[in-house]
Amino acid sequence: MTYRKLSFFTLTFLLAGSLFAQTTRSGEGLVSIRNEQTELPPVSEHVLSENVPSLLQGIWQGADRLVMFSNQNEFALVLRVFYQWYNDRAAEPASFTEVKSRDRNNTTKSPAEDIQIQYITIVENPSRTAGVYELSIKYPHEKLPVLVPVCIIDGKMYMDFLIKDSAEVTDLRLSSESATSNQVEKSNSNGFYRAASNANGITISQPIFDKEVLSYFMGDEGEVYRIRYWLSEMDYSYAKASFSDGDKVFSVDKYLRIGSNVYQCTTGRSTKIRNIQKSTKFEKNATYDSDGGIVAFGEPYLMKVPEGHERAEVISSTAFLNIIEENNKRRHPAPKPLFPPTFPKFHWKEISELEVYNPSTWNKRNLDIHK
């Protein structure tokens, strides 16, 4: 009996020592993970600017709104209500009322929202025909500004888009002293396309932000891998995650910084991406910029209003207000009557043939002939 007890205690001691050794090894593993995280390059900070990017300057028109980005740091937004038949000057600087007074009716709000806005340039293509920007919008009754990402491709604004390459490559190129501008290089179509948009529009109140976004990895043989990212409370970094397809292993950004939100594609500190969906094309209609570094999905959110032949250096508030005034001069045609009037239908040809045999009309017809 004593021998059995001694054997049991001995076995317990040996098992505890084994568990302690495993714990020590796992602890060393955690330390190495932390060391790997600390070895990552520091995250580049986005720079706010009062100056409007050249691709954003101008007047933009959509199905339900007009937006003006003036290089005098003036931002105005007009809502096209009542099926686009009335333009409501919902948000504009106070100086606009000195040029033309606002209408007062049950549609407008007095005074208009005075929205302050700054700009962050995320990336621009070498051809200077496309770019991704974040609008830092300060609403009057909000303490902190919100960041709304937008994409410009050939005079069209999109709210759903991707950027080629990882954020580390884009940010380092942006902050590089040797680069003359924040431009992406022209490249082939394969590689990582990270999601860079999460807002539903440019609005006069806080927009709705997505809780999940999709990024894509395009393989050398035309494969398209869809990667899901969700909202995270983790600190943003340039950490990487990977997934495999057979013998192929692909590396992508573990975290995405979109506006004020951070998204991640793995749970906790894991670097293994699971449940990757594979296809041969995007689920939506894609529009590429001329250099292949930016991809937009769906229909344009806003279209740039063509400028006149006399291109002014300063986009004036007068021109913007003139467009609104001309739009409000239009009048909707009267609706069709609920019960349209009906008229008798005469068969004039048959009646004329009957009149030939009517003696009472002979004299009249004779007089008509001799005229």
pLDDT tens digits, one per residue of 232-260? 999 999 999 999 988 899 999 999 999 99
Q: What's the pLDDT at 14? A: 46
The per-residue pLDDT for range 108-117, each reduced to its tens digit, is 888 899 999 9
Amino acid at 53: P
Q: What's the pLDDT at 271? A: 92
Helix (H, G, I), strand (E, B) or coil at 261: strand
Task: Examine the pLDDT at 326 and tell me if it is beyond 80.
Answer: yes
Q: What's the pLDDT at 31? A: 31
The per-residue pLDDT for range 271-296, each reduced to its tens digit, is 999 888 998 888 889 999 988 899 99
List the beta bridge partners of residue 140. Answer: none
Q: Percent of the chain having pLDDT more than 90?
A: 49
Q: What's the pLDDT at 118? A: 95
Instruction: Please give the torsion angle defined by the CA atoms of residues 41, 151, 188 and 167, in that order, rounded to the nearest 10 degrees.
Output: 10
pLDDT bucket at 156, cuts 50 / 70 / 90: very high
Q: What's the pLDDT at 318? A: 84
- Average pLDDT across the chain, whole number: 81
Q: What's the pLDDT at 35? A: 36
Q: What's the pLDDT at 189? A: 74
Q: What's the pLDDT at 357? A: 66
Q: Is the CA virtual torsion 112, 114, 120, 124 positive or negative?
A: positive
The per-residue pLDDT for range 294-318, each reduced to its tens digit, is 999 999 999 998 875 334 444 678 8
Ranges assigned E (strand) in the chain: 58-61, 65-70, 74-80, 86-91, 116-124, 130-138, 146-153, 156-158, 161-164, 191-195, 212-218, 224-232, 240-245, 248-253, 255-258, 261-264, 277-279, 286-288, 294-297, 302-304
pLDDT bucket at 343, cuts 50 / 70 / 90: confident
Q: What are phi and psi of 341, to 5 degrees?
A: -65, 150
- 223: CB partners within 8 A, 6+ apart: 245, 278, 279, 280
Q: What's the pLDDT at 342? A: 84
Q: What's the pLDDT at 366? A: 59
Specify the DSSP class assigned to residue 364.
Answer: H
The per-residue pLDDT for range 204-226, each reduced to its tens digit, is 999 999 999 999 999 888 899 99
Amino acid at 230: W
Q: What's the pLDDT at 79? A: 95
Chain centre distance of CA 203: 12
Q: Percent of the chain having pLDDT more than 70?
A: 77
pLDDT bucket at 29, cuts 50 / 70 / 90: very low
What is each CA distance from 156 to 61, 106, 222, 287, in whole angstroms? 10, 33, 28, 11
Asked if 223 contacts 245 with a C-beta cutoff of 8 angstroms, the reply is yes
Q: Average of pLDDT values for 47-66? A: 92
Asked if 245 contacts 273 with a C-beta cutoff of 8 angstroms, the reply is no
Question: What CA–CA distance (Å, rounded) separates 126 from 121?
Answer: 14
Q: What are phi and psi of 5, to 5 degrees?
A: -65, -45
Task: Examine the pLDDT at 345 and tell me if it is beyond 90.
Answer: no
Asked if 143 contacts 202 with a C-beta cutoff of 8 angstroms, the reply is no
Asked if 236 contacts 127 with a C-beta cutoff of 8 angstroms, the reply is no
Chain centre distance of CA 115: 19
Task: Examine the pLDDT at 121 and tell me if it is beyond 70.
Answer: yes
Task: Examine the pLDDT at 37 and tell me if it is beyond 60.
Answer: no
Q: Average of pLDDT values for 141-154? A: 94
Q: What's the predicted TM-score (pTM) here?
A: 0.77
Sequence-separated contacts (24+) of 142-145 with Cβ below 8 Å: 142/206, 145/116, 145/118
The per-residue pLDDT for range 167-208, each reduced to its tens digit, is 998 888 776 633 444 444 445 678 999 999 999 999 999 999
* Per-residue burial over 43-77, b = 16 or more CB atoms within 10 Å of its CB, e = otherwise: ebebeeeeebbebbbbbbbbeebbbbbbeeebbbb
